[in-house]
Amino acid sequence: MGLTTVNLFHIRRKTLLKRFPLTHELYLRQALKRKKDKSYNFSTGILVFEDGTKFFGNGIGYEGNAIGEVCFNTSITGYQEIITDPSYSDQIINFTFPHIGNVGTNIEDNEADKTWVKGIILNCDITEPSNYRSVKKLDIWLKKRKIVGIFGLDTRTITNYIRDVGAPKGTIQFLKKGNHNFKDLLNKSRSWNGLIGLDLAKKVTCKKPYKWKSLKSWNKNKGYVKNKKIIYKIIAIDYGIKKNQLRCFSDINCSVTVVPANFPAEKIIKLKPDGVFLSNGPGDPAATGKYAIPIVRKLIKKKLPIFGICLGHQILSLALGAKTKKMPLGHRGANHPVKNLITNKVEITSQNHGFEVDLKSIPKQVKITHKSLFDGSIEGVEVKEKRLFSVQYHPEANPGPQDSKYLFEKFLNNIRKRKNG
């Protein structure tokens, strides 16, 4: 009979019901209902996982299909910033918060000019926007950006499923006629190689250097205002950079020149920066590291202050001799507690990563500064005497709390120390 929604859960029912008795009992009943009611086969949206598990819903956004790693995000705000974060390249986001799209979209909250996410999964239909800044309904915005979406699914059940199987591959499809070819979608999910070994930074990075326009962080009364007081010069290596990281540098009186991920170290040095920033980004850090590590090591030899975030943290760690590995689930949300091992304070952080620095591989000269209170994974490292540090999470937020924004000031202090001898 093959792996259908129904018999898959009969096979694994004991395990699933033991872990998630309510959600999976509900899911099993829904699956049995689908088997009896053929109208489910005419749903305009479908999600098919690599093991044959499938969910039906209603399509939104762009009509077509997309393949990627299915992950979940627990944030309750900032869906536009999340969808436009380049770190989500080749991923399908399952939003656990039910009200996505309720404030519409605007022209200011995009974290990148181009969108790289493959698709989104929602619990509820998109309502009419209710926000004074909204200029376009999310459904129309998704369609314009060619992002496939689906709603009407039990996103909590999907989250439990992802937690059980661990970062599965899947295909999402929206067809107005509802004529889905299950076998074809299943083959698409199974044939995709996944994120391990995949260098996505080269896909999302800028094609040539450019200067950031020095806009500061959002001001409720003034919006984004340009900072005319520039003191320090930063070079940002773009592995998938977010605009709010650039705004945070404008907040501390820094001009930023953004360069491609493979921009030669010699050219960076010729630009005479006061410090170098390694941005966030998607994909396997070890794959990006093939060209990124030699660049960073040359910059370290020049004793330049370096600050890394997310993929930038992983690249810096690799350059210092550590190793990275794929996580079973990853961290994605805006409520992740991280302990600062230097101050013993807990910071609530925004996170989005599926790889981590391997704790067992950390060299002696590298100090672990932060750790996750969810799973104990490394969230920050430092080589103080060389003015090098990085964090796995996102201190620039957007969306999320700003408990860790002090790290930009820390980077600035390292620059001042170097300039003052």
Phi then psi for 186, rounded to 5 degrees?
A: -65, -45
What angle separates helix 21-36 from helix 155-165, to the nearest 10 degrees?
110
d(CA 154, CA 57): 9
Angstrom distances, CA of residue 295 to CA of 146, 192, 290, 356, 385:
34, 30, 10, 21, 20
Query: Which sequence positions are flagged as catalytic?
Result: 310, 394, 396
d(CA 421, CA 157): 57
d(CA 312, CA 319): 10
- Which residue, 110, 90, 65, 81, is CA-closest to 287? 90
Beta pairing partners, 237: 259, 278
Phi then psi for 260, rounded to 5 degrees?
A: -60, 160
Question: Do 29 and 154 contact (CB within 8 A), yes or no?
Answer: no
